[in-house]
Amino acid sequence: MEKMERLLYEASVEGNATVLQSLLEKDPLILDKVTLNQHDDMPLHIASMLGHIDFVNEILAKKPKLSLERDSQRRLPLHMASAKGHVDVVKALVSANPDACSAGDRDGMNPLHLAAVKGRNEVVKELVRAQPHVARALVQQDTILHLCVKHNQLEVLKLLIETMSDHEFVNSKDADGNTILHLAVADKQIETINFLVFNTTIEVNASNTNGETSMDILSQGPNDTKYQQIIRCLTRSGAVEAEKESFFAPIPQNSTNKTGFDNKKYYKKPHLEKDSKNDNDDWLDKKRNTLMVVASLIATMAFQAGTNPPSGVWQDDSTTDPLHRAGFAVMVRNHPNYYHVFLVCNTVGFVSTLSIILLLISGLPFLRHRVFLWVLMVVMWIATASMSLTYLVSILALTPKPDSKPFKNVVNGIIFVWISLMTFLVAAHAIRLMEIFHKSPHSRKKPLST
């Protein structure tokens, strides 16, 4: 009997279906006996693990119930075939017993879980097609998506999300309240993060049980190259850090929760100065970027207006008029006073915006101060006002009857509104600047010592 069992074992390793048939003719119960006496060297498990499809089909034809036999790790033959990626064997086993798809091993993992963590895409497709509900089974409160991220299986993750197409499934949380985005950020899986943020319905500002968002998780790691790439990706998607107020809740001394764990570990120590500095830096960066964009736009407009003045340029030369030369501005001859005002205002706007651009790209350390930014904003106001006057002078030069009363009323009304708006902005910012200086520590008087 031991000799036949050894032959059966060797046949299962080699995938020799002919030997299997011969042994079954001699002893029709040999498969049952081997399964009863052994736990890890069962023929169907071995053949499934090695991908011997003919051998597997022969056993399933004779004893289909053997597909539900478990080894010492509580694994079915389908677990072995799924982990190894043998698609044909998986199809045969699923066809013999579809319930095997939902069977969990000693760790609670079903065949689909094993295929996912091993990156067996074709097996995952087959199992999900056969039994879609098994994809929702949990492993110690981890979904199959959490397992994919933990084992860095991006392709399987994409396949499952596209196949399931379920918002709640994508945003499922593990025992610690972490979504798959939390895990991907913690492990700095850049490709996974990009996929989740831009191709799924993941909630980028979801919080875990500690009240941490994905941005909070990222801030806990080193500021390296991956950090910079991830923070740009998360910022573009609208991700923010958790509300600071949630970290300042009073914590009773020596308090514990109902399970006996110390509550203090679930709270962060507030870093007011650091958070304030980061917020200030973010505000300054946004303002500088806005100034750069607007300055570039105004500089382009001023350059075009300077090289292509209103009314254009002469296309030929005149022998009698020295101002009538090819390439000279027509406005110089027809409206000399307007042209001088036009040229001055346009030049002021052009030079002002170029100065802003030059200072912003210089990288000087004092550029990160609010006062300097306020100065740049004043320069931008001057440039904007200059371009407005440039436009007004151009309209006056191009309008056939600038002395008509309706035209004057409209122009005067526009000028009045513009001057009022500029006055309001200058006054508001001046008052704000004085309040900043008044509230600064250096402006406060020291109390008299007694």
H helices of 308-441, where?
330-334, 336-362, 370-398, 405-439
Contact 342, 397 (CB under 8 A): yes
Cα separation, 265 vs 249, in Å, equals 13
d(CA 28, CA 203): 58
Tokens 């071995």 found at: 46
State how far the Cα of 234 lies from the Cα of 217, in Å rounded to an integer.
Answer: 12
- Rounded to 5°, the CA angle 418-421-422 comes to 85
What pLDDT digit, counting tens, does each position of 399-434 carry?
766 555 666 677 667 777 877 877 787 777 778 767
- Mean pLDDT (the chain, rounded): 82
Q: pLDDT by residue (tens digit) across 242-281? A: 754 343 334 334 433 333 334 333 334 444 344 444 555 5
Q: Are 193 and 230 in contact, with CB atoms under 8 Å apart?
A: yes
For residue 244, the tally of other CB atoms under 10 A from its CB is 14
Give the Cβ contact number of residue 397 at 10 Å: 20
pTM score, whole prediction: 0.55
Fold agreement between 1-133 and 138-243: yes
pLDDT at 243 (0 to 100): 59
CB 61 within 8 A of CB 28: no
Note the pLDDT tens digit of each residue in 311-342.
Answer: 888 888 887 877 788 878 888 888 888 888 88
Q: Which amino acid is at 250?
A: P
Cβ atoms 195, 240 nearer than 8 A: no
Whole-number pLDDT of residue 83? 96
What is the reported pLDDT for 154?
95
Amino acid 272: pLDDT: 39
Q: What does the pLDDT read at residue 278?
A: 54
Write down the pLDDT at residue 401.
61
The arrangement of secondary structure in 138-243, i.e. its CATH architecture, is Alpha Horseshoe (1.25)
Residue 313 · residue 328 · CB < 8 Å: yes
Name residue 388's amino acid: S
- Which DSSP helix (H) or strand (E) runs through 112? helix 111-117
Model confidence at 310, pLDDT cuts 50, 70, 90, reads confident
What tens digit of pLDDT does each residue of 44-73 get? Answer: 999 999 999 999 999 999 999 999 999 989
Domain segments of the chain as ranges: 1-133, 138-243, 276-398
- Give CA–CA dist 303/444, Å, rounded: 47
Q: Which amino acid is at 247?
A: F
Residue entry with tokens 């998780």: 217
CATH code of the region 1-133: 1.25.40.20
The pLDDT value recorded for residue 283 is 63
pLDDT tens digits for range 213-250: 999 999 888 888 888 899 999 988 888 887 543 433 34
pLDDT for res 149: 96
DSSP 8-state code for residue 139 = B
pLDDT tens per residue, range 138-167: 999 999 999 999 999 999 999 999 998 889
Question: pLDDT band at 366, cuts 50/70/90?
Answer: low
Structure tokens at 275: 């958070």
How far, in Å, CA of 279 to CA of 287, rounded? 12
Residue 11 has pLDDT above 70, yes or no: yes
Give dist(CA 341, CA 48) in Å, integer.
Answer: 89
What does the alpha-carbon distance between residue 139 and residue 117 come to, in Å, rounded to a whole number? Answer: 12
pLDDT for the residue 328: 85
Check residue 363 and give its pLDDT: 67
